[in-house]
Chains A and B, each alone.
Chain A
Amino acid sequence: MHFLLALLPILLILVLMVIFRWGAARAGSVGYLSALALAAVFFGSGLELLAFAHVKALLLTIDVLLIIWAAFLLYRVADEAGAIQTIGAALPHLTADRGMQALIIGWAFASFLQGVGGFGVPVAVIAPILVGLGFTPMAAVVVPSLGHSWAVTFGSLGSSFQALLAATGLPADLLGPPAALFLGASALLVGWMVIHSTRGWPGFKQLFLPATVMGLVMGLVQYLVVLAGVWNIGAFLGGLAGLLVSFPLARRVRGQNQNQEKLDIRRLIVALSGYVVMVGITLGVQLIPPVRDFLGQVVISVEFPEMSTTLGYVTPAGAGRNIPLFRHAGAILGYASLAAYWIYKRAGLYRPGANRRIVFGTLQKVMSSSVGIASMVAMASIMQHAGMTDALARGLAEGMGQLFPLAAPWIGALGAFMTGSNTNSNVLFGALQLRTAELLGYSVAFILAAQTAGAALGSVIAPTKVVVGASTAGMEGKEGDVMRQLFVYTGLLVLFISLISLASVLLANR
C-alpha cells in the first residue's frame, strides 16, 4: 500500500509530462502538491519535518540553479559574440558527418566535461552548441544527455563514487573496478545510441567502427585509471582519451561539406577561447589545491536536527547540501563567462546593446525552468524525509527476492531519477543495497557497482536534468517529449546493467 502511494507523485509527473506533454513547471507543481499531501496524510510527516524538508530542498535548488543560470549566461555571452556560429561553421571542416560530430562533441567532449564539471554542466554547455551546429533541438538535448551518462560516477572528480564509499564504509579498491567495468561496458552502448539518435540505422553501419574504437578507449582508460587507484580523475582521463582518438577517426569519416568557405583560423581560436577558458578555470580550481582551498573558504552550510515521522522513519541530524559559493560549478561557469566576455569584447565581437541582450536573454530563458526545478526538488526532498523514497526502494528489493541483482540498478536509477543526482542516489540507497546483498548472500561489490551504474545512467532522465537540457536548447515546455525519447535509450542501458549484474553475481557465487 505504502509502495503504491509513494509511487503516485512520480507516476503523476511521468504521465503528465510524457503522455499529456505538460511542461516541467506545471507537472512539477502537481508532483509537489501530491507528495506534500501524501506525506502529511499517509506517511506521518509533521509540520516541522515538512518545513525542514523544504529548507533542504532550497539548498539543493540553489545548488542546481547556480549551474543552469551560469551555463546559460556563458552560452549567451558566446552566442551574442557570434562564437557559436563560428564554431558551427568550422566543425564541418574536420567532419561534416552529423553522426561523427555528435560522437566528438556530444559524447567524448561531454564525457570530458563531466570529468571536470558537475551536475548538468555537459548538457547545459553542449546542447546550445549542437543547436548552433544545425542539430534539431531534440537531438541537441538527447545526444549530450546520453553521451555523458557513463562518465557520471567517476566524473566531477569522483564525487558520486566518494558518496558510495561514504555510505557503505567499503574500500575503493573493492568497489571501484566492478563499477568501472559496468560503466565502461555501457560506454560502448552509449556511443552506438548517440549514432542512432542522430543518424538512425543507416549511420549506425557507417560509424560503428569509430564509435566502437572510441568507446573501448574511453571505457578501458577509465577502468585502468580506477584500477590504479586514482578514481577521482577516471572519467576526466577517459573523456580526454576519447577526444584525442576521435580526431584521427574523424578524418576517415569526413562527410559532404556544403560550406566551401575558407576556414578563418584566428576567428575560430577567438570563438573557442570562451570554452577553453572554461576548461582551464575548471581544471585550475579542481586540481590546484591552494586555489581550491582559497575559493572554498566561503561555504553555505545549514545544520538540521534529527527528524522522524510518526511511522518511525528517521532522518539523521546533519548538514544539508553544502554550497562552496566561490568554488561551485556555477561560480566557475560564471568566471568563465566573465573571462569569455572580456576576450570577445577585446576582439570587437559585440554590437551595441549586447550587454542588455545577454542579461535579459538569460533571465527570460531560465525562469520557467527554475520554477520546474524548484518544485521537483521540493517534491524529492519531501518524499525522502517522509520515507516515501525508502518505501519505494524496499518494495522493489522485497518484490524481486532472488532476482535482486536484476533490480539493483533500477533502484539506483530510481534514486537518481528522484533526486537528479548519482551522488544522492548512492547516499540514499548505498546502505540498503549493501544490507540486501549481504542478506541474500550476493557479491557486495557487484551489487553496489550495479547501484552506482544504474544511478549514473538513470540520472539523465531525472526531470531536473531534462529541464536543464531543454531550457538551454530552446525546448522549454517540451520536456516531456525529451523524456519520452530518453526513456527508451536509458531503459535499455539500465536493462543492460541489470543483465551483466545478474551474470556477474551468478559467476561470483559459483
Chain B
Amino acid sequence: MKRLLTWLEQDRFRAYSLSFLLMVLPCFPLYFSAQAGSWWSWPLLGLVVLGNLLALLIR
C-alpha cells in the first residue's frame, strides 16, 4: 500500500491516466454484457469502481 501511495504521488500523470482508463474502458463491454444479462457486468463495474478508488488516493 505504501509503495502504491508513493507511486501515485511521484507519477501523478500515469496514475491519473490509469484511473481514467479504468473508469472509461470497461464501459464499452459493459453495454454488451448488460444487454445480454451476463454476469460479466459485475467485474466490469468493479473495474470502474477501482478507477474511482484509485483517483481517491491520488493527492
Name A residues whose Cβ lies closer than 8 Å to a Cβ of B: 25-26, 28-30, 32-33, 36, 47-48, 50-52, 54-55, 57-58, 61, 302, 305, 363-364, 367-368, 370-372, 374-375, 378
Contact with A along B1-44 (1 / 0, CB 8 A): 00000000000110011011001100110110111010001101
Pairs of residues from A and B, 5 with the lowest C-beta to C-beta distance, nearest first? A51-B34, A58-B27, A29-B52, A367-B16, A29-B56
Residues of chain B lying within 8 A (CB to CB) of residue A29? 52-53, 55-56
A305 to B41, CA, bound (A): 16
Residues of chain B lying within 8 A (CB to CB) of residue A61? 24
A48 to B55, CA, bound (A): 25
Find out whether the CB atom of A375 lies under 8 angstroms from the CB atom of B55.
yes
Find out whether the CB atom of A55 lies under 8 angstroms from the CB atom of B34.
yes
Find out whether the CB atom of A370 lies under 8 angstroms from the CB atom of B20.
yes
For the complex formed, measure the closest distance between the CB of B10 and the CB atoms of chain A, giving whole angstroms. 15
Find out whether the CB atom of B49 lies under 8 angstroms from the CB atom of A33.
yes
Find out whether the CB atom of B16 lies under 8 angstroms from the CB atom of A370.
yes
Residues of chain A lying within 8 A (CB to CB) of residue B31? 51-52, 55, 302
Find out whether the CB atom of A48 lies under 8 angstroms from the CB atom of B13.
no
Residues of chain B lying within 8 A (CB to CB) of residue A26? 55-56, 58-59
Residues of chain A lying within 8 A (CB to CB) of residue B44? 51
Most A Cβ at <10 Å: residue of B19, B33, B42, B52: B52
Residues of chain B lying within 8 A (CB to CB) of residue A364? 13
Find out whether the CB atom of B41 lies under 8 angstroms from the CB atom of A36.
no
Instruction: Provide 22 A-B residue pairs closer than 8 Å at the C-beta atoms, listed in order of the A residue.
Output: A26-B55, A29-B56, A30-B56, A32-B52, A33-B49, A36-B49, A48-B34, A51-B31, A52-B31, A52-B34, A55-B30, A305-B35, A364-B13, A367-B13, A367-B20, A368-B12, A368-B58, A370-B16, A370-B20, A371-B55, A378-B23, A378-B48
Which single member of B19, B28, B48 contacts A371 (CB below 8 Å)?
B19
Residues of chain B lying within 8 A (CB to CB) of residue A302? 31
Find out whether the CB atom of B41 lies under 8 angstroms from the CB atom of A57.
no
A302 to B31, CA, bound (A): 9
Find out whether the CB atom of B23 lies under 8 angstroms from the CB atom of A375.
yes
For the complex formed, measure the closest distance between the CB of B19 and the CB atoms of chain A, giving whole angstroms. 5
Q: Look across to chain A and name the residue whose beta carbon is closest to the beta carbon of B48.
A: A54
Find out whether the CB atom of B12 lies under 8 angstroms from the CB atom of A51.
no
Find out whether the CB atom of A47 lies under 8 angstroms from the CB atom of B42.
yes
Q: Evaluate whether A47 and B41 lie within 8 angstroms (CB atoms) in the complex, with A26-B56, A58-B24, A371-B20 already known.
A: yes
For the complex formed, measure the closest distance between the CB of A403 and the CB atoms of chain B, giving whole angstroms. 39
Residues of chain B lying within 8 A (CB to CB) of residue A51? 30-31, 33-34, 41, 44-45
Residues of chain A lying within 8 A (CB to CB) of residue B59? 26
A375 to B53, CA, bound (A): 10
Find out whether the CB atom of A371 lies under 8 angstroms from the CB atom of B30.
no
Find out whether the CB atom of B30 lies under 8 angstroms from the CB atom of A54.
yes
Residues of chain B lying within 8 A (CB to CB) of residue A33? 49, 52-53, 56
Residues of chain B lying within 8 A (CB to CB) of residue A378? 23, 48, 52
A370 to B16, CA, bound (A): 9
Residues of chain A lying within 8 A (CB to CB) of residue B41? 47-48, 51
Residues of chain B lying within 8 A (CB to CB) of residue A370? 16, 20
Residues of chain A lying within 8 A (CB to CB) of residue B35? 305
Which single member of A25, A54, A58, A305 contacts B55 (CB below 8 Å)?
A25
A26 to B53, CA, bound (A): 9
A375 to B49, CA, bound (A): 10
Residues of chain A lying within 8 A (CB to CB) of residue B16? 25, 367-368, 370-371
Find out whether the CB atom of B27 lies under 8 angstroms from the CB atom of A55.
yes
For the complex formed, measure the closest distance between the CB of A33 and the CB atoms of chain B, giving whole angstroms. 6
Residues of chain A lying within 8 A (CB to CB) of residue B12? 368
Most B Cβ at <10 Å: residue of A33, A54, A363, A375: A54
Residues of chain B lying within 8 A (CB to CB) of residue A36? 49
Q: Look across to chain A and name the residue whose beta carbon is closest to the beta carbon of B19.
A: A371
